[in-house]
Amino acid sequence: MNFYDLYDERLSAAERSLVEAAGDFCRGEFSAHLLASHTQGRAYDASWIDRWAKEGFLGLQTPREFGGHDASFLCKIRVAQTMAEHGFAAAFAINNLQGSVTRVARFGSEKQRAELMGAMLGGRTLCAPAMSEPDGGSDLAALKTKARRVDGGWLISGTKSWITNGSIIQCANLLARVEDPVGAEAGDIASFLVPLVDGPTLRREELVMPGARSFRLASLGFQEHFVPDWCLFDPPGQAFRSSMASVNAARVHVAAMCVASARSALAETVGYAESRQAFGKPLLRHQGLGWELAEVSLRLEAANALVLRAAIAVQTGKAALTLAAQAKKFAVDVAVWALDQCQRAMGATGASADHRLAMLSSETRLAAFGDGTSQMLLDRIAKGLAKDYGPSPAQKESDQ
């Protein structure tokens, strides 16, 4: 059985074709470019985003009526996993752009779709979420960015940080507290599609992440940055709830890419250990090394099963708060540990530019911080223990 069969058997024939097309795109030149860019300490060339857009993948989950594929969440995961086998950061960053296209297509106004959809689908306008702030991190309730109502629109002031693709996007889906709300209490959170025209009201600064430049992380500083009325995405009082609703899916999405990167590393390591001879036999035949990689395979299969269960819950609309937190926490832990084990099994060559283990390791570690830190996820899981794992009513009755 193929490692991803339990995902793929739930896809339609058209969706399986999309996954195959994504694999064709990623193999060869793109894969080699990601590794070369990492080795040189720079981000992958943004022209690859244009090529990805021309293949139609930025519209993966966009409804067909707007020019997309209307693919399922499981299909989105499989496409992301296919890219994550070649590079975690590029997979995370490019699929982050795709998610913004989906949100505008599904939940944007007619004016927003008219202004943005064509350019977003074609990769000419790149948009990304802008939620985290320097002092708030994952605590969205602590955000300080303000939106003040003026004639014809809003003035945005504040700083957003850790924005994936922040150095290249032309639009941000930004959360801010309204100062002069209409029909809402002061301090309610709204979201805006903010055009990012560099000038005196907008400041960009790359957040340099050695070994992970392909995330293109940046901070965005706004000083009374004007956005017209049509840019209001979620009105005051609704944006926080809307943003939280997408978190479960994002966590499962990240977890799935972690699994894929670890699976790729294990395949590369096993291939190397089969062909490399030491003391008269292949490395894989040495019991100690074989057992270490066997342990990697066990934990990897467990992580994959948990991610699949969480993904099915998200796709079918079932409760996924705890499952999503568990999947991301466990998948990140397994991936980081597995990549270390694989590098150790290959020795010094595993850290060299001849293999992508070092790249996958340095990039995948950052998954522990996006969409909720591992500590926050444990707290979330702990809060649900009584509901999720406490005794059933029948057990309570039998104890009485």
Are 357 and 298 in a shared domain? yes
Radius of gyration, alpha carbons of the chain = 22
Give pLDDT tens digits for 222-261.
999 999 999 999 988 777 777 777 888 999 999 999 999 9
Are 324 and 368 in a shared domain? yes
Give pLDDT tens digits for 151-192.
999 999 999 999 999 999 999 999 999 986 555 555 788 999
User: Residue 178: enclosing H or E segment and its boundaries?
Assistant: strand 171-178
Are 12 and 119 in a shared domain? yes
Are 257 and 375 in a shared domain? yes
Whether residue 398 is contained in a domain is answered as: no
Give pLDDT tens digits for 331-370.
999 999 999 999 998 888 888 888 899 999 999 999 988 8
Using CA atoms, how far residue 71 sits from 61, 122, 144, 156, in Å, is 5, 17, 36, 34
Whether residue 359 is contained in a domain is answered as: yes
Among the listed ranges 27-36, 56-65, 234-243, 292-301, which one has the minimum average pLDDT value?
A: 234-243
Listed as own residue / partner, the contacts of 98-103 with beta carbons closer than 8 Å and 24 or more positions apart are 98/57, 98/58, 98/59, 98/60, 98/61, 99/61, 99/129, 99/250, 100/127, 100/128, 100/129, 100/171, 100/173, 101/58, 101/59, 101/62, 101/68, 101/127, 102/60, 102/61, 102/62, 102/68, 103/173, 103/246
- Point out which residues pair with 129 in neighbouring strands: 173
Whether residue 400 is contained in a domain is answered as: no
Are 209 and 337 in a shared domain? no
Output the average pLDDT for the chain: 91
Residue 51 near residue 88, CB atoms below 8 Å: no
Given a cut of 70, whether residue 309 has pLDDT beyond it is yes
Are 281 and 366 in a shared domain? yes
Whether residue 113 is contained in a domain is answered as: yes
CATH of the domain at 74: 1.10.540.10
Give the mean model confidence (pLDDT) for residues 70-78. Answer: 97
Q: How many domains does the chain have?
A: 3
Whether residue 334 is contained in a domain is answered as: yes
Residue 142 pLDDT level (bands cut at 50, 70, 90): confident
**Counting Cβ atoms within 10 Å, is residue 113 exposed (0-12), middle (13-18) or buried (19+)?**
middle
- What is residue 198's predicted lDDT score, i.e. its pLDDT? 83
Are 261 and 137 in a shared domain? no
- Point out which residues pair with 147 in neighbouring strands: 156, 178
CATH of the domain at 325: 1.20.140.10
Using CA atoms, how far residue 246 sits from 38, 71, 170, 363, 390, in Å, is 30, 17, 22, 23, 27
Are 286 and 363 in a shared domain? yes
Domain of residue 102 covers 5-125
Given a cut of 90, whether residue 118 has pLDDT beyond it is yes
Are 213 and 288 in a shared domain? no
CATH of the domain at 171: 2.40.110.10
Supply the pTM of this predicted model.
Answer: 0.92
Are 112 and 29 in a shared domain? yes
